[in-house]
A and B are shown apart, each in its own frame.
Chain A
Amino acid sequence: MDDEGDRPTLRVVAGGVTPQRREEEALVAAFLVGDDEAFGELVRRHEPLVLAIVRRYAQTPEDARDLAQRTFLRAFEAARRSLRRGPRAALPFRRWLVRVAVNLAKNHRRDALRVLRAPLEDAEAEHAGVTEATAAESLLHKERELRLRAAVLLLPRRQREVLTLRLDAELPFAEIADALGITENSAKVSFHHATRALRAAFALEDRP
């Protein structure tokens, strides 16, 4: 990079910075000055997290790949812009990734819902050849699973984000709260409401 003003600076945080985060910030800074290996390393580290967040909203594996790639691109752009504004504006790269993935996924919610509401013909074909009782049970389970996944997508936005970041990405509540800009307690309350809403939608407690 030829412009001294564009050179990224590492974020300085008083205390509490884990070695892992420091290493990650060094990788981001290295990539922003042209080190492609650093980019590969960052993607390898965070790929499972990003895929876990976006695959609920993807209709095909290729959709999931495209969404993950776009997440990395936008997160790098966001990290680059924030670093140029100075160390105070910088956020940890992982937080950018979660925020961007959640936002991108949100735009695909409707398409994902349409797929989940499609007839269960594929599931029926899957169970051809097994005994009638087993097939019926499997179909019932599959149907409930798909209906519940649709119900997840119909939850209010905050509840849906918290629930999926916990269930799919297995993030700690502190990190979920951090990424969504809410308190940890608020994230836990949203998770509680989401669980109750899903139970009400399926009335599982009344089923044997």
Chain B
Amino acid sequence: MTCKDLDLLLPLRAAGALAPDEATHVEAHLARCPTCRAEADADAAVLALAKLPPPTEAERRATAGIANGALAALRRGDRRRRTFQRVAAGIAVAAAALLAVLAPAVLRRTPTIPPAAAVTWQEPDLDTVWEDAGLLDIEVTAAAATTSDETSDESDAEIASIDL
């Protein structure tokens, strides 16, 4: 086993996580390699410092009732969930009943186009539309004016032929 092989194993050794056969090889190497021994000591020192101290008396007291507290909270959650499910189911039933009662009335009141009216609808007569809009009167007036002009020319000729 070389120093490079030991690099990965030394932190595991400091954490007490070496398999027995690995530990044998590592200890044999450390016995003859001061550099790796220094590395191993440094790993052990830093991990010892990083480890949390044991729980204090205050921590033990505060955490004594976890089982009861967690169980009470769990049961509260279950009750809340059941209540919610019951309320949701009640609302769903009430909504369904309301729908069953109101649906026929709502449907009856909805205005619909009688099918007969839709079938018998015809395009309106354009002449009637023109007449209603007064446009035909304008045409008639124009035509009347034209006739009047012709009549006027004839009258002028008649007047001219009169021997005064």
Contacts and interface: CB of A to CB of B under 8 A. Distances in A.
B52 A65 contact: no
A137 to B, nearest CB: 14
Contact of B47 (A60, A149, A167, A173): A167
Contacts of B69: 65, 69
A73 B77 contact: yes
Interface string B93-119: 000000000000000000000000000
Given A36-B71, A173-B17, A188 B12 contact: yes
A37 to B, nearest CB: 10
B120 to A, nearest CB: 60
Contacts of A64: 59, 62-63
B43 A167 contact: no
A56 interface: yes
B64 to A, nearest CB: 9
Contacts of A199: 42-43, 46
B8 A204 contact: no
A86 interface: no
Contact of A43 (B11, B38, B70): B70
A167 to B, nearest CB: 5
Measured as residues with beta carbon below 8 angstroms from the partner, the interface class of chain B is 35 or more
A39 B74 contact: yes
Contacts of A148: 46, 49-50
A36 B59 CA distance: 25
Contacts of A39: 67, 70-71, 74
B42 A204 contact: yes
Interface of A: 36, 39-40, 43-44, 47, 51, 55-56, 60-62, 64-65, 68-69, 72-73, 76, 144-145, 148-149, 151-152, 163, 166-168, 172-173, 188-189, 191-192, 194-196, 198-199, 202, 204-205
